[in-house]
Amino acid sequence: MTPNSEKVTEKANWIKSKFLNYTYDKDFYDASMMAFGFVNDETEDVVLPLQFWISPDEVITFMMGDIMDKAILLCSLLIKLGNPSARVFVKMDDSARRVFVYHEFGSKFHVLECGKEKREFNSRDDVLQSLQFNEDTVAYEFNNQMYADLY
């Protein structure tokens, strides 16, 4: 997670430049949707033969990455746009993996999942309850400041 890297900073500044005078309280929601649109629509999905993450700067440079790479880029952009609550969330069970980014803004929890629609929840607990954990589930979340095993 590199919200202060060169290319993430450049992309966040480009997004901010689309607003007359970017302020977090007034413009973050629209800026977050622009970041989501960039990651979701403009970067290509790839599955590499080796299991490793590429950096957010590399995703921007090559305009491609797997679902984890893209989630880390999106989370980095959201943090750079001013929201330190942004986190990558990973849930795995029965060989299926679900990865998304969520953040708190305007008394709502916003879930951004590449290739899917944005969803809003009233609380973090509501986000977690929507995921239907079972005894085979492994779940964790992280950003540039924290990591937590959840299940």
Is the model more confident about 54 or about 26? 26
Residue 135 structure tokens:
């005894």
Nearest to 72 by CA among 122, 151, 7: 7
Position 35 scores a pLDDT of 98
pLDDT digits (tens, 9 = 90+) for 72-100: 999 999 999 999 999 999 999 887 889 99
pLDDT digits (tens, 9 = 90+) for 3-22: 999 999 999 999 999 999 99
CA distance 57 to 82: 18
pLDDT digits (tens, 9 = 90+) for 98-148: 999 999 999 999 999 988 889 999 999 999 999 888 888 999 999 999 999
Position 26 scores a pLDDT of 97
Q: Is residue 102 within 8 Å of residue 89, measured between CB atoms?
A: yes
| Domain boundaries of the chain, sorted by first residue | 6-149
Global confidence as pTM: 0.93
- The reply to whether CATH 1.10.3720.10 applies to domain 6-149 is no
